[in-house]
Amino acid sequence: MTPVSYVDRGLGGAGGFMGPVDSARAHGKWWHLLDDTRTGLARDVGTGAISRMAGVRPEDVYNVQARNFAAALTHQLGLMWMDAAGDGQLLEPEMWKRFQAMTQAYAAAYGDNGYARANAPTTAYDVRPDMRPVLMTVIDENSRFYQLCDAPLNEFLLIQARDAALRSGAPVQFRLFRDVLEGNAPPASVYLFLNLFQVNEEQRSRLHARLQQQQATAIWLYAPGYFAGDSAAPENIAALTQLPVKAFEGPAKSGSVFQLDGRWIATGTDFGPTREWNPLFYIEGENLNTVATYRDSGKVSVAIVALESGWESIFVAEPCLTPGLLRELLQIVEQRVFYRRNSLKCDVTHVGPNLFALHASERGERVIDFGWPFAVQDVLLPERGWPERQFLNVLLNTGETRIFKLTPVMPEDQL
């Protein structure tokens, strides 16, 4: 059981997971989200009267709670609401009506008992391929033992990059590296390795074989495989990523410039923090497929290679990954994002088995592309729906949460 992330958890925030929740489920374990959102409600200990803090809008609180529910629903997690201080944070009838609607929606998705059993089928819904995992976000617990620079790297790689995955607009799961390596994770189109610093030669071979078998794409961040056996060297990164990687001599500055004309990022757009790192890496070689270069040095910071064996490798040498950059990388390797090009907001998106949820980062119109026609129904407002839609236009306020159940309107072989 973990709370929702304490970083970027407010209205419009990612509210990310504190661990590899999908690995826990794969091993028959329950993972419960603890929603301890501060609601602004308080009880006067003398009179018992309930009051709400000035400036806190009830609808904003409900939308944050709905975002946390969407995360639990789509990843088949438990969910608990908590008044941490015991001072009346949940003492509101309207809030409990909404909790009841969430409980009923969960039961409708996964069975009358209201819970998805760890060993039960994934869902009662008719799952379509586009609602299956596309982006497998991989965390390596063993690599944490090799870090000297802990807090800054973890902030960028384990928090910001995690949240970038949630804002990518693609179906995402969060798994441990050992589960991916040992085949305890389902196939995915793209693997995003957040902190894979330590990989020995045997693990490298097994991982390459898995990527080749699935014809998948690997996105590596910062220093993948830097430690191998008794050595720590850029050659180890090159062996893992299959790209010509070198290290700067001494401290060097991060912060990059996007070099392509993308759907969500224009040529010349800056991304990443300007700060010194040691070591910091770059890609140097002939006929590189360059995506971005460092602002300070002009050397290549992001590059991609399509290998003869059938898988693709993308190395992001920056210790930073933004939602827009991740969307562009997914487009480059021809993985569909659920949002059309004119939907420039990188909203928090949760995709489950025939479930789609978004939490708006700011006010504006979104154009959602489900990939093929579905009957679309609002999970929390079931009277609201659309009989047959592939594209759905929605106008959202900042922090608004919408959760949709998607029912195929025709068999897959007729599409």
pLDDT tens digits, 283-328: 999 889 999 999 999 999 999 999 999 999 999 999 999 999 999 9
Do 178 and 40 lie in one domain? The reply is no
Confidence (pLDDT) at 130: 52
| 118 in any annotated domain | no
Partnered with residue 138 across adjacent β-strands are 175, 193
Quick one: 224 and 319 in the same domain? yes
Residues 169, 299: one domain? yes
Confidence band, pLDDT 50/70/90 cuts, at residue 26: confident
pTM confidence score: 0.92
Instruction: Give CA–CA dist 223/247, Å, rounded.
Output: 10
Residue 244 confidence (pLDDT): 97
Domain end point (choices 300, 332, 364): 332
Asked if the structure places residue 280 within a domain, the reply is yes
| C-alpha torsion angle, residues 35, 37, 40, 42 (rounded to 10) | 40
| Residue 361 confidence (pLDDT) | 93
Give the chain's domain count.
3
> What whole-number percentage of the chain has pLDDT above 70?
92
Please give the Cα distance from 87 to 83 (Å, whole number): 7
Residues 6+ apart with CB under 8 A from 93: none
CA angle 365, 368, 371 (to 5 degrees): 165
pLDDT higher at 389 or 410: 389
pLDDT at position 117? 45
d(CA 365, CA 343): 7
147 and 292 share one domain:
yes
Q: What is the pLDDT of residues 360-391, one digit of tens each?
A: 999 999 999 998 899 999 999 989 999 999 99
The answer to the question of residue 267 being in a domain is yes
CB 91 within 8 A of CB 43: yes
Q: Are residues 322 and 229 in the same domain?
A: yes
In a domain, 105, yes or no: yes
Question: Averaged over 76-81, what is the pLDDT?
Answer: 94
Coil, helix or strand at residue 221: strand
**CB atoms closer than 10 angstroms to residue 48:** 9
Q: Give the CATH number for residue 170.
A: 3.40.50.880
Domain range spanning residue 284? 135-332
Q: Answer yes or no: do 253 and 398 share one domain.
A: no
pLDDT at 262 over 80: yes
Please tell me whether residues 187 and 70 are part of one structural domain.
no
